[in-house]
Amino acid sequence: MPLWVELVLRIGGVVVAFLTLPLLVGQAEHKVMAHMQGRLGPMYAGGFHGWAQLVADGVKFVQKEDITPREADRAVFRLAPAVALVPYLLVLLVIPLGPNDLVGQPLDIGLFFVLAVVGVGVVAVLMSAWASANKYSLLGGLRGAAQLLGYELPLVLAAASVAMAAGTLSLSGIVEAWQPWWLLWQAPAMIVFFVAGLAEIRRPPFDMPVADSELVFGYMTEYTGLRFAFFLLAEYVGIVVIAALTTVLFLGGWQGPFADDQLGWLWTLLKIFAVSFVIIWLRVSYPRLREDQLQRLCWLVLVPASLAQLVLTAAVRLAL
């Protein structure tokens, strides 16, 4: 197969995943929350089980007027939603779906690349907050920046633990080195990574930067129409990315109970959707953390736990 054809197929597959998986997660969130909270509305659109609810939401956003505040920095204001989306697309390029290089772009330093690119999200938050010329947006943006910068540390430390255990920064290499007993040995790192990942994508109970009850929707206050929809899409893509990274780093990726590598991609997808369900379930089950509780959890619980896990991983590696 010519190199350019293979490149087009790989990039095309990633783009299709980027456009479809977040929509599937969004539809699942509508249904899961409707069942858990006894909400009948999302069950009616389109007839059977409310299958068209997401379509109705999309039509609603398209019909809304696109407004830019008069005092806003127009160029930065309009660019911020794209800056929120693009890093997740780049991350999906290097996350392996299965064995035998079933990945958009295999990298020997894939984990380093992922952690570096995910950190760009704070730029979009600050861009939208500052450019909106709104005090509520600015307050939400500063809270968001403090949260993202704080939770990046335990996220990186937890990822470093499993990379140290596998002896590689390659995401495919980590999956190949993974063993079932790692579920116990690396469990603290997995919990820290998952919780910090929730905070990085600002999902409940870590949604204080967009607390609608006191910030009118934080740094997204002035956004309407499709630009607002892009921010919401970035959130759902973030769910897919965090679920995929948790799967690849801590749950064995494409490894399943059978030795058949042909179904590796299926096991990866099943694990991703299972982790996504947990993220949705947490939104329904837990109240929002206050700003002081959010920072205390980061610095007094997650950071010490991730450092302790690093020490444990180093000791086990030396012993083996």
pLDDT digit string (tens) for the chain, length 320 residues: 677 787 888 888 888 888 889 888 988 888 888 888 877 767 777 777 777 777 888 888 888 888 888 888 889 999 999 999 999 989 999 999 888 878 888 888 989 999 999 988 889 999 999 999 888 889 888 988 999 989 999 999 999 999 999 999 999 999 999 988 888 989 999 999 999 999 999 888 898 888 766 667 888 888 988 898 899 889 999 999 999 999 999 998 888 877 666 777 889 999 999 999 999 999 888 888 888 899 999 999 999 999 999 999 999 888 87
Structure tokens belonging to residue 218: 């934080």
What number of other Cβ atoms are within 10 A of residue 9's Cβ? 12
A 10 A CB-CB count for 65 gives: 6
Token pair in block for residue 285:
């089950």
68: left (phi over 0), alpha (psi -120 to 50) or beta: beta
* 133 burial via Cβ count (<10 Å: 0-12, 13-18, 19+): middle
| Residue 6 resides in a domain | no
The answer to whether residue 203 is domain-embedded is yes
- Tell me which residue of 182, 206, 118, 158 sits closest to 303, measured CA to CA: 158
133 occurs within a structural domain? yes
In this structure, is residue 11 part of a structural domain? no
Question: Is 13 inside any structural domain?
Answer: no
Whether 112 contacts 169, CB under 8 Å: yes
Classify the C-alpha dihedral 28-29-30-33 as positive or negative. Answer: positive
Residue 242 is predicted with a pLDDT of: 95
Q: Is residue 130 part of a domain?
A: yes
Dihedral-angle region of residue 46 (phi above 0 means left; psi in -120 to 50 means alpha; beta otherwise): left
The pTM (predicted TM-score) of the whole model is 0.92
Q: Is residue 54 situated within a structural domain?
A: no
Residue 48 belongs to some domain of the structure: no
Q: Which domain holds residue 150?
A: 69-319
Spatial separation of the C-alpha atoms in residues 174 and 248, rounded to whole Å: 8
The amino acid occupying position 243 is: A
Token pair for 110: 């894939």
How many independent structural domains does the chain possess?
1
What is the Cβ-side half-sphere exposure of residue 97, based on CA atoms within 13 angstroms?
A: 17
